[in-house]
Structure 1
Amino acid sequence: MDFFSNLNLGCAVNKVLTTEGMLFDIFVLLATAIFFFVFKRKVKYPLAHFGIILSGVLIFEMFTSPMWDNPHLGAFAYFYKDVSWILSLGWSVMMLSALWIADLIAPKAKELARFGVGLVVMTIAGIIAESVVLALGLRAYAPEVHAALSGIMVANVPLEALYYIPVFSVLIMGFYKYWSFILDGRPAVPIKKGRFVRNFLIVALSVFFFELMIEPMVENRLLPEWSYIYRDISILLTGFWVLLVFVAEALVERFFAAHSLPDRFVMTLLAIAVVATPIEGWLIGHGFRVYGESATRDFVGISMPFSGVPIEVVFAIPLYFALILGLSKFVQLCLDNKR
């Protein structure tokens, strides 16, 4: 099978539209239309705001797609392998709605407090939504995910959803909030110098969230037993990624402080990607990082020259780190600006 055939056909998810899938598609499209009708009256640049949150969702959906299948939504509902733009719309609407509800519940609270309220609202809504798609047969988990599940069900969803959904949401919602600051032109003082410990901890938490999310998809092997802090998440690898993000961010803030926030974001992301990509290739080549069968099955077979990193991973690295960086910078901006 050639590159384009693999890209279009993707994994063997059943895309035949069922009655449940059709009703779900209609519901999401109607909900999106109603939401946007109201949303455009509440914010400036509504399309741009929606585009930011949708971009965050798509980044996650595209590169974690080996962890699950989304069948029976109809062939028109997929744009890449089994990644459904219908589901992406649904997640985007829920996240923006959760943040909006938080603003209504606690209008005078600080930004981070409202963000926390929004995260709680999103977690509740996300668990309900996951329960619905599972019950309708529109969601199935990959073998690697099943192997990581405890088997305990809460509200008809795996127990792990209680942390998966908020972790998934906090990364995307943090990414959105950071870029919404920029989009709305809200005044912000530069990230303050000298807050190394605080900023390091923020980055560490952001990276750990990311590692927790993709843990079933890639296995960290051959590392000292004492370094594993949860399943195969190693403090050595996680610590290295934390250090990489922290140093890249600190250097860019130190030497390019006069540049705009978007410029500094892109500079930091490029610096991370340039270092992380060959290191990921070395880790894969020496057996320290092993991608699961569900992930490698969908690889198109093209690797980056010299590093040997699959092309999917090459693209995933900067995009995933964009979510990490967005959350980290959002929290830092809120603290530095006392929001």
Structure 2
Amino acid sequence: MITWDQFTERLQDRFADLPSIEILLFEVGVIVAGILTYRFLAARIEHVRGHLLLIALGMFLVEFFTGPMWTNQHLGPWAYVYSDVSWILTIGWTVLISLSIYVVDRVLRAKEPWQRYVLFLLIITPVTIVSDGLVRGLGIRESSPETAAAAGSAMFPIIDVPVAGLYYVPVVMTLVYSFYRHWLPAIEPGAVTTGRLPLLNRLLLTTVAVVLFEVVVEPMATNQGFPAWSYVFHDITVIMTGLWVLIVTGSTLAVDRVLHTTDVRLKFAAYLTLITLIAAPIEAWFIQNGYRVYGPSATADFIGLRTVILDLPIEVLAAIPLYLSLVISFVRYWDGSVDRSLGFRAREAGEQARLAPSVAPPVAGQP
């Protein structure tokens, strides 16, 4: 928790912390790369703005609620959106992700969803690790003490990046990738109606999504006081994981039953609203009874505002729908709720499709 004086002091420090020449060149390079990537994709891909916005939004959601896991510094006061979440870095990650998807969809031309997903991870993981080494080398990014402790001491030589990135990066990119793919029908016309997997499969997918999230946020909050037998990996416990799986699955099923003909965007908002209403008091109870403990790096950024009824830090309340957006998108994409054949569609194909209706079919008996 920080006071108003501490907040203003941080603000003054940020404006006094001007970037070095190397970091300024890095920022210019990222912006130029973003412009060139847009022009490159715009010449080849339909609806490129929508694609890039979806990727950027998914990455921003991850950066927003995982902000306490590291410090992004020395970029200059103009480079930040909230706390140390930087739009410069968001553009950089968007460039890397979009170009990786382009290679998978248009160069390798993978068709099956699982093929595209695996190829994407094989490309983006080493690229992200090397890029992380670059921003660390420039002094832009540092891991929080909790993140460094969770990642361990093993480091990649030369780039000085934790080897733990080999599982952190795929987890984060899986959530971003699924969010992007899930919302593609909003920008790509002609999406087909698809069926959904049986309940057991959805439960399994939700479990995977919740575990992925818990792996990501492990350095931010720990689960304590649960029976020893319930822990499966570090502080991940089947009790809490199972509870969130039941809440997410039950809530989405209830919304689907009541709003089965409603627009997907309104339905998604209903998912987030219902689950947040259920999850917020449970999370507050866990915190107040010592089962969920947020680390110093997370609580240091709490501004002190708390909800009136639940006495829950406002940052925790805000993080719940952000986290759920990624989890629900993952489940809905992989359970068949959306058309998984959509992707980067070649501009030439789109132009041919638009021109086709204007060509009148031949009439019998006429030359």
Report the TM range for the smaller structure's normalisation: over 0.9
Residue deviations 1:58-92 (CA, integer Å, cap 9, x gap): 11112211111112212211121111110011111
Aligned residues: 338
Q: State whether structure 2 residue 268 is matched by structure 1 residue 273.
A: no
Counterpart residue number, 1:39: 41
For the Cα contact (< 8 Å) 2:231–2:237, is it kept in 1?
A: yes
The alpha-carbon deviation at position 221 of structure 1 amounts to 0.8
Q: State whether structure 2 residue 171 is matched by structure 1 residue 171.
A: no
Counterpart residue number, 1:189: 193
1:254 to 254, 257, 265: 257
Counterpart residue number, 2:345: none
Letter in 2 for 1:303: R
Q: State whether structure 2 residue 307 is matched by structure 1 residue 304.
A: yes
Counterpart residue number, 2:117: 115
For the Cα contact (< 8 Å) 1:53–1:172, is it kept in 2?
A: yes
Counterpart residue number, 1:56: 58
For the Cα contact (< 8 Å) 1:9–1:81, is it kept in 2?
A: no
Alignment of 1:1-339 (within 5 A): 6=7, 9=10, 15-155=17-157, 156-192=160-196, 195-333=198-336
Aligned partners of 2:13, 2:192: CA distance in 1, in Å?
48
Letter in 2 for 1:106: L
Aligned partners of 2:271, 2:85: CA distance in 1, in Å?
28
For the Cα contact (< 8 Å) 2:210–2:245, is it kept in 1?
A: yes
The alpha-carbon deviation at position 255 of structure 1 amounts to 2.8
For the Cα contact (< 8 Å) 2:55–2:176, is it kept in 1?
A: yes
Residue deviations 1:253-306 (CA, integer Å, cap 9, x gap): 233221222222221121111101111111111111110011111000001111
SS in 2 for 1:152: coil
Over 4 Å off, 4+ runs:
1-5, 10-14, 334-339
Residue deviations 1:91-138 (CA, integer Å, cap 9, x gap): 111111111111134325213321221122111210110111122221
Greater Cα offset, 240-249 or 11-20? 11-20
Residue deviations 1:125-169 (CA, integer Å, cap 9, x gap): 101101111222211111111221221112531011001111111
Aligned partners of 1:35, 1:284: CA distance in 2, in Å?
44
Greater Cα offset, 159-168 or 98-107? 98-107
Structure 1 residues 97 and 285: alpha-carbon distance in aligned structure 2, compared to 1, 3 A threshold: same
SS in 1 for 2:187: helix
The alpha-carbon deviation at position 177 of structure 1 amounts to 0.8
Identity rate of aligned residues, in percent?
A: 32
Counterpart residue number, 2:348: none
Greater Cα offset, 250-259 or 203-212? 250-259
The CA RMSD measured in Å over matched residues stands at 2.3
Letter in 1 for 2:152: S
For the Cα contact (< 8 Å) 1:11–1:82, is it kept in 2?
A: no
For the Cα contact (< 8 Å) 2:19–2:74, is it kept in 1?
A: yes
TM-score after normalising by structure 1: 0.93
Structure showing greater radius of gyration is 2
SS in 1 for 2:293: strand
Letter in 2 for 1:238: T
For the Cα contact (< 8 Å) 1:177–1:330, is it kept in 2?
A: yes
SS in 2 for 1:140: strand
The alpha-carbon deviation at position 219 of structure 1 amounts to 0.9
Higher relative contact order (CA 8 A, sep 6+): 2
SS in 2 for 1:187: coil
Letter in 2 for 1:213: V
Structure 2 segments unaligned to the other structure (5+ residues): 343-367
SS in 1 for 2:222: strand
Structure 1 residues 319 and 152: alpha-carbon distance in aligned structure 2, compared to 1, 3 A threshold: same
The alpha-carbon deviation at position 7 of structure 1 amounts to 8.2
TM-score after normalising by structure 2: 0.86
Aligned partners of 1:62, 1:337: CA distance in 2, in Å?
27
Aligned partners of 1:189, 1:213: CA distance in 2, in Å?
32
Aligned partners of 2:280, 2:161: CA distance in 1, in Å?
35
Aligned partners of 1:15, 1:212: CA distance in 2, in Å?
33
SS in 1 for 2:52: helix
Structure 1 residues 297 and 108: alpha-carbon distance in aligned structure 2, compared to 1, 3 A threshold: closer
Residue deviations 1:197-241 (CA, integer Å, cap 9, x gap): 111111111111101000000011111111111111111101111
For the Cα contact (< 8 Å) 2:168–2:216, is it kept in 1?
A: yes
Residue deviations 1:23-59 (CA, integer Å, cap 9, x gap): 2111111110100112223334333322222111111
SS in 2 for 1:153: coil
